Amino acid sequence: MRRAKLDIKSYPGFFAITLVCLLILYAPLLVVTVYSLNDSNSITNWEGVSLRWYVDVFSGPESQKFKAAAWNSFTIAIIAATVATTIATLAATAMIRSGAFKLRSLSFGLISLPLMVPEIVLAVATLIFFNSVGFTRGYGTILIAHIAFCIPFAYLPIAARMQGIDASYEQAAQDLYATKRQAFTRILLPMMMPGVISGFLLAFIVSLDDFIITNFVKGAGIETLPTAIFGSVKQGIKPNIMAISTLLLGVSILLVTISYVVSKSEKTK
Amino acid sequence: MAGGTASSGGTAADTYKNARPWLLLPAWAFLGVFVLAPVFMMLVYSFLTKEFRGGVIWEFSTAAYDQFFFNRGLFGDEPPTIEWTYIAIFWRSIWQAATATLMALLIGFPTAYFIATRPEKLRPMWVFLITIPYWVNLLIRTVSMKFMLRDNGPINDFLVGTGLINEPITIINTNFAVQLGLFYSYLPFMVLPIYASVERYNFSLSEAAADLYASKWVTLRRILLPAVKPGVVAGCILVFVPSLGSFLAPDLLGGAKNFMIGSLIEEQFKGNAGNWPFGAAASMVLLTMVLILLLIFARQQARAQKGTG
């Protein structure tokens, strides 16, 4: 019976296509990683394994530029993810723990708006807004734009987690004379912490990775890692770009893995 | 993007006076000021007069839309005919995005199906494998693709090495390279929603079809596909929409000839040569197209939900 059922489900070739799909997704990343270890001045010829381009990233002629860009990228990502996670946590609490209220679906629309508007349109709109209110483009404008598009990425895992937590825990706390605030900070917040951490990490990654919006609102004289990389790539792919890309790739994969592990942890405790 | 909204929320909690919609205020304030207001300002800018060194003069004008849709000759005094330049760029973008979507569907559907039919314990791991590349910097992924597709890059090396072709073929800076780039960028978006709907699919329907002597492929086409259509449509939208306005893939993989909407818009805001009202107008046209698409999608999903529930 079980065999027959499995047989009905399986289609010849689907497993092969799945492997092709994974190959397509991962091959370019693997190739860049491998070639970042190439001991050659050209990206075409393979001349053995070395870490020279990683040394170059940290102490080569362009290292000052990349260090400054990395500093901007990381500080912006930390601040943007922190603010976005805070806003998203409050918003999720209102959305999931308030039953039905007016403006509820409209609020959800507003929160997910940055995901629905094409990124280039959001970039243009944000640039125009900063221009019309007279903000000078720079670190601050990048930060504000990043917080805005990080909010939905932080919101989704937090809201998902909170939906899985039964309201009776807070009710029990309130039955035992906990105030609303205590029920939130002492019961709900610790329970939804995995969602909050997961949301923070995702927001951090999307901030770290953003190119298009940053490129529009950054103004002259300030770079983040993606805009610095883009500037270099426009003059051709150089080996040090492969090394810096591999580093950034590693950071993203590490963080998304942590986020995954955390959000799966103690799922229904 | 397809993030589900909460159902009716904590029901019993209502009696405990846990209603606190005011906690939404920070989100409303921030997104209202820095997302909603900017989109509105963009609409306003698209009706202003261009300043020659970038920026705008605050004078009402429909010149931007006029330039987009109509050709009035070199001096602007001829009777208007339809201007095809920008419509052609939009059309090419639609075509590129549609091709990339089709490619993603052909690879993504079997993958999603395969994952959804794995033992339940293993599915999250498969889904995670598909998701990881999405979280890797899009710029870096596009650069990797550029590296792969070069004339003497790994793909050509492989094809020449295996004797399939005699000399490297040019892929980079063609339409096909852009399609490949878009396909590669958004492939995970195709897999995830299809996976979600196949996972919910009741396989006893397929068994019933098999009992009635339907072949596997007939079952797939007549029973499974209609049942998981909402997931397929969602996947197509999630690949098509970001592809349509993408900037990196056409810019890095397509070269100067294979201009898409994203590059057209970006150019209007670069340096002093740009035309801000025109860039805003082109963005408005793109936004309108996307919103219409999402609206159709939302109605279709709502209808599908009514059908099953």
Residue B273 within a domain: no
Which range has the top average pLDDT, A134-138, B96-100, B222-226?
B96-100
Tokens 């890797």, located at residue? B136
Interface size, chain A vs chain B, as Cβ–Cβ contacts under 8 Å: 302
Minimal Cα–Cα distance from B76 to chain A, Å?
Answer: 27
The answer to the question of residue A244 being in a domain is: yes
For residue A61, the 8-state DSSP code is: T
The pLDDT confidence band at residue A77, using thresholds 50, 70 and 90, is very high
CB contact under 8 A, A21 and B107: yes
Q: Are residues B120 and B207 in the same domain?
A: yes
- The CATH number that applies at residue B162 is 1.10.3720.10
| Residue B170 shares a structural domain with residue B253 | yes
Q: Evaluate whether residue B301 is within a structural domain.
A: yes
- Classify residue A15: in a domain, yes or no: no
Report if residue A138 sits inside a domain.
yes
If you average pLDDT over residues B150-161, what whole number do you get? Answer: 83
Rounded-to-integer distance, Cα B225 and Cα B205, Å: 12
Residue B208 lies in a domain: yes
Please identify which residue in the block is written with the tokens 């019961």.
A187
The whole-number pLDDT of residue B10 equals 43
Higher per-residue confidence, B265 vs A219: B265
Interface check for A178 against chain B (CB to CB < 8 A): the answer is: no
CB A127 within 8 A of CB B45: no
At A49, is the secondary structure helix, strand, or coil?
A: strand
Q: What is the pLDDT of residue A142?
A: 96
User: Tokens at residue A224, please?
Assistant: 């983040």
Please state, for a pLDDT cut of 70, what percent of chain B lies above it. 92
Report long-range pairs for B13-19 (Cβ below 8 Å, ≥24 apart).
B13/A97, B13/A99, B13/A167, B13/A170, B13/A171, B14/A99, B16/A167, B16/A170, B16/A171, B16/A174, B17/A180, B18/A97, B18/A98, B18/A167, B18/A170, B18/A180, B18/A183, B19/A98, B19/A99, B19/A101
- The predicted-structure confidence for B23-53, as pLDDT tens digits, reads as follows 899 999 999 999 999 999 999 999 999 887 7
| Average predicted confidence (pLDDT) for chain B | 86
Please report residues of B whose CB lies closer than 8 A to that of A257: 132
> Is A69 in the B-facing interface, judged by CB distances under 8 Å?
no
Our CA-based measurement puts residue B89 at a distance from the nearest CA of chain A, in whole angstroms, of 16
Whether residue A105 and residue B5 make contact (CB cut-off 8 A), yes or no, is yes
CA distances from B22 to A10, A109, A124, B18, B164 (A): 50, 17, 30, 11, 65
pLDDT score recorded for residue A57: 84
Whether B207 and B302 share a structural domain: no
Based on the domain organization, do B160 and B301 belong to the same domain?
no
Q: B120, exposed or middle or buried, with CB in 10 Å at 0-12, 13-18, 19+?
A: exposed
Q: What CA–CA distance (Å, rounded) separates B203 from A102?
A: 39
DSSP secondary structure letters along chain B: --PPPP-S--TGGGGGT---GGGGHHHHHHHIIIIIHHHHHHHHHTTEEEPTTSSEEEEE--HHHHHHHEE--TTS-SPPEE-HHHHHHHHHHHHHHHHHHHHHHHHHHHHHHHHHTS-TTTHHHHHHHHHHHHHS-HHHHHHHHHHHHSTTSHHHHHHHHTTS-SSPPP-TTSHHHHHHHHHHHHHHHHHHHHHHHHHHS-THHHHHHHHTT--HHHHIIIIIHHHTHHHHHHHHHHHHHHHHT--HHHHHHSTTTS--HHHHHHHHTSTTT--HHHHHHHHHHHHHHHHHHHHHHHHHHHHHHHHH-
Residue with tokens 């919101």: A155
> In this complex, do B290 and A118 lie within 8 Å of one another by their Cβ atoms?
yes
Task: Round to whole Å and give the CA distance between B30 and B38.
Answer: 12
Query: Which candidate from A97, A216, A226 shows the least CB-CB separation from B137?
Result: A226
Q: B120 with B211, same domain?
A: yes
pLDDT digits (tens, 9 = 90+) for A154-175: 998 898 888 888 888 888 888 8
Question: What's the rounded Cα separation, in Å, for the pair B72 and B104?
Answer: 41
| Residue B280 backbone class (left: φ over 0; alpha: ψ -120 to 50; beta: rest) | alpha
The stretch B105-113 carries a mean pLDDT of: 95
The answer to whether A174 contacts chain B (CB < 8 Å) is yes
Of the candidates B248, B90, B267, B114, the one whose C-alpha atom is nearest the C-alpha of residue B184 is B248
A18 to B108: CB separation less than 8 angstroms, yes or no = no
Is B200 inside a domain boundary? yes
Give me A30's structure tokens: 């693997």
Amino acid occupying residue B204: S
pLDDT in the model for residue B12: 45
As a whole number of angstroms, the distance between CA A58 and CA B69 comes to 50
Residue type, B109: F
pLDDT digits (tens, 9 = 90+) for B81-91: 888 889 999 99
To the nearest whole Å, the CA of B290 is away from the closest chain A CA by 8
Which residue range is the domain that position B61 belongs to?
Answer: 38-82+281-309
- Rounded to the nearest 10 degrees, how much is the dihedral formed by the CA atoms of B199, B201, B203, B205? -170
C-alpha distance from residue A150 to each of A61, A72, A77, A259, B134 (Å): 33, 17, 9, 15, 16
How far apart, in whole angstroms, are the C-alpha atoms of residue B101 and residue A140?
37
A19 interfacial to chain B (CB closer than 8 Å): no
Q: B147 with B249, same domain?
A: yes
Measured between CA atoms, how close is B72 to chain A, in angstroms?
A: 27
Q: Are A142 and A222 in contact (CB under 8 A)?
A: yes
pLDDT per residue as tens digits for the range B203-257 = 888 888 888 888 888 888 888 888 898 889 989 998 999 999 899 999 999 877 7
CB spacing of B14 vs A99 below 8 angstroms:
yes
Domain count, chain A: 1
Restricting to B residues 31-70, those with a Cβ less than 8 Å away from any Cβ of A are 31-32, 34-39, 41-42, 45, 55
Share of chain A above pLDDT 70, in %: 96
Residue B299 has pLDDT above 50, yes or no: yes
Cβ–Cβ below 8 Å for A107 and B1: no
**What Cα–Cα distance (Å) separates residue B147 from each residue in A233, B44, B164, B233, B275?**
11, 41, 20, 32, 33
CATH of the domain at A76: 1.10.3720.10
**What digits encode the pLDDT tens for the residues A78-115?**
999 999 999 999 999 888 887 777 788 889 889 988 98
- Return d(Cα A205, Cα A150) in angstroms, integer: 9
Cα of B78 to nearest chain A Cα, Å = 32
Same domain, B188 and B123: yes
Which residue on chain B is closest to A226 by alpha carbon? Answer: B139
Q: How many CB atoms lie within 10 A of CB B199?
A: 18
The DSSP 8-state label assigned to residue A42 in this structure reads: S
Give the range among B127-136, B150-159, B258-267 with minimum mean pLDDT: B150-159
- For residue A190, pLDDT beyond 50: yes
Token duo for residue A232: 């270099």
How far apart are the C-alpha atoms of A81 and A79, rounded to whole Å?
Answer: 6
Tell me which chain A residues have a C-beta less than 8 angstroms from the C-beta of B113.
11, 14
Query: Do the domain assignments include residue B124?
Result: yes
A235 pLDDT band, cuts 50/70/90, is confident
Query: By the 8 A CB rule, do A112 and A123 touch?
Result: no
Q: Residue A215 falls within a domain, yes or no?
A: yes
Owning domain of residue A228: 61-265
Q: What is the pLDDT of residue A238?
A: 84
Q: Is B122 on the interface with A (CB under 8 A)?
A: no
- Of A248, A206, A85, nearest to A156 by C-alpha is A85
* CB contact set of B257 (below 8 Å; sequence gap of 6+): B173
**CB-nearest partner of B6 from A96, A248, A252:** A96
- Per cent of chain B over pLDDT 90 is 44
Of B14, B108, B144, the CB nearest to A32: B144
Domain presence at residue A193: yes
Based on the structure, what is the number of domains in chain B? 2
In a domain, A172, yes or no: yes
What integer is the mean pLDDT of A124-147?
94
Q: What's the mean pLDDT in A32-38? A: 88
Identify which of A36-40, B97-101, B160-164 has the greatest average pLDDT: B97-101
Cross-chain residue pair B14–A112, CB shorter than 8 Å: no
Question: Residue B308: which pLDDT band, with cuts at 50, 70 and 90?
Answer: low
| Dist. CA B226–CA B198, nearest whole Å | 11
Looking at residues B138-157, what average pLDDT do you find? 87
Strand B48-50 to strand B70-71: parallel, antiparallel, or no bridges (unpaired)?
Answer: unpaired
CA distance B207 to chain A (A): 7
The pLDDT of residue A4 is above 70: no
**Residue B30: inside a domain:** no
CB-based contact (8 Å) between A116 and chain B? yes
Looking at the domain assignment, is residue B26 inside a domain? no
Query: What are the chain A neighbours of B283 within 8 Å (beta carbons)?
Result: 120-121, 124-125
Range in B183-187, B235-239, B286-290, B300-304 with the lowest mean pLDDT:
B300-304
Answer whether A100 sits within 8 Å of B294, measured CB to CB.
no
Q: What SS3 state is found at A38?
A: strand
Contact B50, B63 (CB under 8 A): yes
Query: Which residues lie below 8 Å from residue B297, measured CB to CB, with a gap of 6+?
Result: B233, B234, B237
Mutate to test the interface with A, among B18, B132, B219 (most CBs of A within 10 A): B18
- Phi and psi at B269, nearest 5°, equal -115, 10
